Amino acid sequence: MTFEELTIGLPAPKPLMLADAALFLDLDGTLAPIASRPQDVRPEPRRTRLVEKLTRAMDGRLAVISGRTLADVDRILEGRVVAVAAVHGLVRREPDGTVHEADPHPALPAAAQRFRDFASRDSGLIVEEKGLSVALHYRLARSHAGPARLLAEEIAAGTGLTLQHGDMVEELRTPGPTKGDSVGDFLGQAPFAAAKPIFIGDDATDEHGFEAVAAAGGLGILVGPPRPTAARFRLASVEQVLTWLEAAL
């Protein structure tokens, strides 16, 4: 049986038991629906109440692991989550509030300019600069997907920037920690240590997280359509994720 055959028909997870679990949650496509433009994702009362209640019920064993900046995570979740890994792990805020941040790669400004030059050909192309990475979104200009990928691959090959293919986005980031590394760092300290880790995410960038929790005896939950993945379970949508989490409270 092939890897794809083993991973494509994943079951839904069993009901969540909070007592011994640690939750690592992606944001876009997991806790919040993906928007056409990154800035269109805004705070939502149901989501804010949920992460607040879960954090309290789990004695702080909840972290958000996102490709967004730390400021953006705090904006969308209204500052309710302290433990956050942002920009795919390049920025990490510990449970005590201490922030660790990588140094930006020197090639990022030039890469961002090349993305901006490319984006000038279509108003649906959006360049998102995150300090430690730069992303080219083409959800509103899908005909440019192929050229966007080729451009990102060319820049990565010439600069040493790390290329991440995402959902309708190409991102060039400073080399460094991944989402999986962030999970490992959190699991090495209170209040996450000795808990069973659960990582929930939707994108290819979340695979490192799925692999990290599996290595620690936990499990990954893929959100969205079936695809080859290191996750063991699947929920079909953001709505299903929220409902599954709410049922544990």
Q: Taking the domain 19-102+176-246, which CATH number applies?
A: 3.40.50.1000
The strand pairing partners of 22, in sequence order, are 197
Residue 8: the pLDDT is: 57
Distance (Å, rounded) from C-alpha 105 to C-alpha 11? Answer: 41
CB burial readout 178-196, b (16+ within 10 A) else e? bbbbbbbbbbeeeebeebe
Total residue length of the chain: 249
Distance (Å, rounded) from C-alpha 206 to C-alpha 203? Answer: 5
Would you tell me the crossing angle of helices 108-119 and 145-159 to the nearest 10 degrees?
160
19-102+176-246 and 108-173 share one fold: no
Distance (Å, rounded) from C-alpha 156 to C-alpha 218? Answer: 33
Q: What residue type is assigned to position 214 of the chain?
A: A
Q: Are 199 and 217 in contact (CB under 8 A)?
A: no
Q: Torsion angle, CA of 30/32/33/34, rounded to 10 degrees?
A: -90
Q: How far is CA 137 from the centre of its chain?
A: 15
Q: Domain boundaries in the chain?
A: 19-102+176-246, 108-173
Distance (Å, rounded) from C-alpha 127 to C-alpha 144? Answer: 13
Q: Are 208 and 199 in contact (CB under 8 A)?
A: no
Is 16 buried (19+), middle (13-18) or exposed (0-12) by CB count in 10 A? middle
Distance (Å, rounded) from C-alpha 222 to C-alpha 210? Answer: 9
Residue 109: the pLDDT is: 97
Q: Is the peptide bond before 191 cis (omega within 30 degrees of 0)?
A: yes
- In this structure, are strands 99-101 and 91-93 parallel, antiparallel, or unpaired? antiparallel
Catalytically active residues, by annotation: 26
Residue 9: the pLDDT is: 78
Could you state, in chain order, the average pLDDT of each consecutive group of 10 residues for the chain (249 residues)? Answer: 51 95 98 93 97 97 97 98 97 97 97 98 96 97 97 97 93 96 97 96 95 97 94 97 98
Distance (Å, rounded) from C-alpha 83 to C-alpha 65? Answer: 9
pTM for the structure as a whole = 0.93
Does domain 108-173 fall under CATH 3.30.70.1020? My reply is yes
Residue 3: the pLDDT is: 37
